[in-house]
Structure 1
Amino acid sequence: MATGIGVMALGSMLNPRILSAATKGKSDFSTRNNPGLPHFVPKAKRIIYLFQNGAPSHIDLFDYKPILKKWHGKQIPDDLTSGKRFSTMTGKQTERPIISEISNFEQHGQSGAWISDFMPETAKIADNLCFIKSMYTEQVNHAPAITFFLTGSEQPGRPSMGAWLNYGLGSSSEDLPAFVAMTSRDKEASCGQIFYDYYWGSGFLPSKFQGVKFRGGGDPVLYLKNPEGVSRKIRRDVLNDLEVLNELNYQEFGDPEINTRIAQYEMSYKMQMSVPELTDLSKEPQHILDMYGPDVQRKGSFAYNCLMARKLAEKGVRFIQCMHAGWDQHNNLNHQLKIQCQDTDAPSAALIKDLKQRGLLEDTLVIWGGEFGRTPFLQGNIKDYASWGRDHHPYVFSLWMAGAGVKPGFSYGASDDFGFNPVENPVHVHDLQATIMHIMGIDHEQFTFKHQGRRYRLTDVRGHVVKDILS
């Protein structure tokens, strides 16, 4: 008898849900939805994806090309652009003069990484970063390219990466969703990029695996507070009765979305307690707040979202997706690029340093990058400096990763002298996705979901793990 009680006590310590009221009937929001996963020991327990909507200019930030200064104002070689597809803004442009980078580059850290002076705080953490400078994609417009990165398909309808990981690995947080999305925009709100819900959607997976979006103003989640006159006990009693009714409904119809409704009611009840504590910054030391920059107290800013990402990571949230719009500089590159860097540089670097000093970086993978790069040639009139811009460029671009699973102070792949095409170790979007899955302990070819008679996976029918960047 004593042994039995001891086993139950140990089990409840390892998994508090075992003895919780939330495990009655179909409301068990299991921590592992696929018992066969992970396929092998993961390098990372969680991911923070700092997605930069609009496409940062790789040749102005991370991919130093000194030849651009020599070619400034000259027509880009025709053999580079022949047969290439660009957006409608420069697709019919007859003159494509090269413009040099608009920032200054220096090498940083023991790794000697070339980083723009627009990113001074990122430069200080260069030896923590793994750069991929040979990324390429297939889409030339924003929404399809972002959808491709986050879901593996250019068309909406597939599960997002966070939903796949939620479905496969479940949650390690008792009181928060496994997948949280947050969005922000540049200070001047000059970018019209739209944040579509399917960027964090569940596609054809059950909807309980979709991301929960935290709002940028007011309460991060609606209805955190009970209506006046409704106590927490009353809310608990109502949810218990609803669960009984939903259970009866499920037994009759077998609709899996009923399970989702039960589970989400329970999660909402828990979040009424966990979210206010999460968003309380009063206990954060001032030097930590200062590290994230002056916007950290402004809800909905990129800095605030980065700090929330660290706090969510501490709480065991599996996938945290911070999306920041404003990088689409078609005709205001000289003005707007620096503003974007000021918005994102310090918070991104602070997140890495904050995770590292708390021992979280060793099991957290952080990714920073956009959906494609920008052209080395000019969009606009070269004589009108204020109107300079760069068009979309899917053929090669850069991103960085840090933390669990990747080599720190490492640069992989290379583009040609003009930053136009990959010439060394090209990395396709599906290759990156396969590598991310591998770091999370998943064989991307084996992790599938059957839908409409076909087995789908995040990487569709291609993708190879980039083993050379793995630590």
Structure 2
Amino acid sequence: MSNLSRRHLLRTTAAGFGSLALASLLADETRASNTTARQSDLPSPHFPPRAKRVIFLFMKGGPSHMDTFDYKPQLQKDDGKPLPFEKPRVQFAPTSNLLGSPWKFKRYGESGIAVSELFPHVAECVDDLCIINSLHGTNPAHGGASMKLHTGSDVFVRPSMGSWVTYGLGTENENLPGFITICPTLAHGGTKNWGSAFLPASVAGTPIGNASQPSDQATVKFVENARMSLQAQRMQLDLTQSLNREFLETTGPDSALEARIKSFELAFRMQTEMPEALDLAAETAATHRLYGIDNETTADFGRQCLMARRFVERGVRFVQITHSNTEVQWDQHGNLRKGHSQNAAEVDLPIAGLLKDLKARGLLKDTLLLWGGEFGRTPTCQGAGNDGRDHNPEGFTMWMAGAGVKTGIQYGATDEYGYYATENKVHIHDLHATMLHLLGLDHKRLTYRHAGRDFRLTDVAGNVVHDLFA
């Protein structure tokens, strides 16, 4: 046995330590170049974008615009009187006389915009909002209107807007889906509202739970494999993928198989990333309070909003949050006072918390928030005790925030009672065109060839509302 001093050992193996250091540096460069390669592989926007990502706050059932963000003094004055003009030719159900809002409005912020007492916390953020009071659609039924909002079509199965956005821009995180929908409703179009239809399956929305279960139970099914180690799964997947690619070489292009190959890889990588993204315990107690997670009323939706922030931080391109209380929803044909009060109490604080948190973290400047439902409500009453409103796609309100839209404004208007959009009307197709423009996408150029024609989110319509841009 030779005597080898520590000094001699270090001197003779110095080159080895240098090799280790060099290997580490090269590995870092390789990871950096891979990241750069992944970024360069992303589809290019058509022009410089204002927004990089979208969070869609979907209020299923149709919030009443004249009870929330579209104050109508004349409606208050004429409460109980007949509507002085014709109702739409197509209505969902009969209604009677005018019904003034049961809630008081107050002006907030430097903009002085009037907001209902239903939303005191969001009202504090009104100077960050771009409120569109002149939305209109074509369908008075939940299913058709919801499909129109989500896909641009109320009669055919078409790709959802989240799928179009992900198809057009790709994802900045290869370990998470590009499009995630949190606690989505399974009714009124269900999976079609976040599906990819004829677009590649890889851009379909990935559901985290559904509306029938509490958000603290929402997760991705089978994201963890307790029976097999990651190493063993990797070996299994490598074999499967080699067979898939060999088959692909013999068959030629096969979008379904190519999407399956991508989905297998994503599913494997999600095992490490998704549980961490869903772990809200990593957030501070102050953050939990900000989103209302410490309160029984706001906890469920607050968790969804906090999940959304954590996902967009990690590069998810499109995140949808659905408020769909299975007992109440926003669909108050009766019990308007009770139902809207309960719904607003559940979402008001969490939405304001999300706005404030995104702004504090510097994310609001390139994250587009979109709030609204599939339609609004009628100013005429319905139900026992004059305590309900019917569906109304003729005129309603949605709002945007962040990502280069004007702040502290109300755009467009409905008539003095809130029945019809009358000034600077914005159709659902216009809303989609405007959202895509903010993301750097020309809605007329974002097309996909299928069944012999080029399809797009806005079909053959849609105009960008440039007046909404700062």
**TM above 0.5, one fold?**
yes
Letter in 1 for 2:357: D
Structure 1 residue runs without a partner (length 5+): 19-29, 186-191
Shift of 1:32: 6.9
Q: 2:216, 2:300 within 8 Å by CA — same for their partners in 1?
A: no
Q: State how far apart, in whole Å, the 2-side matches of 1:156 and 1:298 are.
A: 37
1:84 has 2:78 as partner: no
Report 1:63-462 matches (<5 A): 63-77=70-84, 79-81=85-87, 83-87=88-92, 89-90=93-94, 96-183=96-183, 193-194=187-188, 196-215=190-209, 216=215, 218=217, 220-228=219-227, 230-254=228-252, 255-294=254-293, 301-325=300-324, 326-381=329-384, 384=385, 388-462=387-461
| Partner residue, 2:56 | 49
Letter in 2 for 1:207: A
Cα 1:204–1:416 change in 2 (3 A) is same
Q: State how far apart, in whole Å, the 2-side matches of 1:47 and 1:470 are.
A: 16
Shift of 1:139: 0.8
Letter in 2 for 1:38: P
Q: State how far apart, in whole Å, the 2-side matches of 1:219 and 1:129 are.
A: 29
SS at match of 1:395: coil
Shift of 1:11: 6.5
SS at match of 1:174: coil
Cα 1:219–1:54 change in 2 (3 A) is closer
Q: State how far apart, in whole Å, the 2-side matches of 1:296 and 1:268 are.
A: 34
Q: State how far apart, in whole Å, the 2-side matches of 1:296 and 1:303 are.
A: 9
Letter in 2 for 1:329: Q
Cα 1:331–1:142 change in 2 (3 A) is same
Aligned residues: 437
Q: State how far apart, in whole Å, the 2-side matches of 1:70 and 1:213 are.
A: 45
Structure 2 residue runs without a partner (length 5+): 1-23, 210-214
Q: 2:216, 2:303 within 8 Å by CA — same for their partners in 1?
A: no
Cα 1:219–1:268 change in 2 (3 A) is farther
Shift of 1:159: 0.6
SS at match of 1:316: coil
Letter in 1 for 2:356: K
Letter in 2 for 1:243: Q
SS at match of 2:176: coil
Q: State how far apart, in whole Å, the 2-side matches of 1:100 and 1:299 are.
A: 28
Q: State how far apart, in whole Å, the 2-side matches of 1:155 and 1:111 are.
A: 40
Letter in 2 for 1:203: A
Letter in 1 for 2:125: I
Shift of 1:227: 3.3
Shift of 1:184: 6.0
SS at match of 1:208: helix
TM-score by length of 2: 0.88
Q: State how far apart, in whole Å, the 2-side matches of 1:176 and 1:278 are.
A: 9
| Partner residue, 1:22 | none
1:176-206 deviation per Cα after TM superposition (whole angstroms, max 9, x unaligned): 1100011268xxxxxx955600111001111
Q: State how far apart, in whole Å, the 2-side matches of 1:6 and 1:461 are.
A: 53
Cα 1:286–1:440 change in 2 (3 A) is same
Shift of 1:7: 10
Cα 1:280–1:8 change in 2 (3 A) is closer
Cα 1:394–1:465 change in 2 (3 A) is same
Q: State how far apart, in whole Å, the 2-side matches of 1:205 and 1:7 are.
A: 38
Q: State how far apart, in whole Å, the 2-side matches of 1:8 and 1:437 are.
A: 38
Shift of 1:9: 6.2
SS at match of 2:167: helix
1:110-151 deviation per Cα after TM superposition (whole angstroms, max 9, x unaligned): 011110001010001000100000111111111111111111
Percent of aligned positions that are identical: 41
TM-score by length of 1: 0.88
Shift of 1:295: 6.2
Larger radius of gyration: 2
Q: 1:369, 1:398 within 8 Å by CA — same for their partners in 2?
A: yes
